[in-house]
Amino acid sequence: MVKILFFTHSNKLSGGERSLFDIIRWFNRSMDVSLITPGKGRLSEVIEREGISVYKIPPSQVFNIRRERMGIRDFVNAGELGRIAEFISS
C-alpha cells in the first residue's frame, strides 16, 4: 500500500486546513495516510476521528527530522520522531 505523510504548519480548521482535510480523507480511501501537526488543535481532532494517524510534534522538532534521517535505523525507538522516521523509511 502506498503511504502518504502530510505536513501542516497550522492546526486550525479554516480555509487551507479544510482543503487539506478533504484531500487527506480522499487519499485515505485507498492509501495509508498520516499527518504531522504542530501540537494539538481542531485539525488533528477531526483527522483522528476519521481513524487517520496524527503525529503532534513541536515545530522546532520538525526541522530536526532531516538531520536525523541520516541514522534512521538507530532512531526508530526515539518516540514521535522515531515513528515518523520509520514511516518515511518503510
Higher confidence at residue 10 or residue 58? 10
Separation CA 58–CA 43 (nearest Å):
15
Residue 81, pLDDT > 70, answer no
The domain limits of the chain are: 1-56, 58-90
**What average pLDDT does the chain have?**
79
List, for residues 12-32, the tens digit of each pLDDT value: 898 999 999 999 999 999 999
How confident is the model at residue 62, as a pLDDT?
Answer: 55
Q: For residue 4, give every residue at least 6 positions away whose Cβ sits within 8 Å of its Cβ, in sequence order, or none.
A: 27, 31, 32, 33, 34
How confident is the model at residue 75, as a pLDDT?
Answer: 45
Separation CA 39–CA 46 (nearest Å):
14
Higher confidence at residue 63 or residue 25? 25
Higher confidence at residue 59 or residue 77? 59
Residue 46, pLDDT > 90, answer yes
3-state secondary structure 2-67: CEEEEECCCCCCCHHHHHHHHHHHHHHCCCEEEEEECCCCHHHHHHHHCCCEEEECCHHHHCCHHH
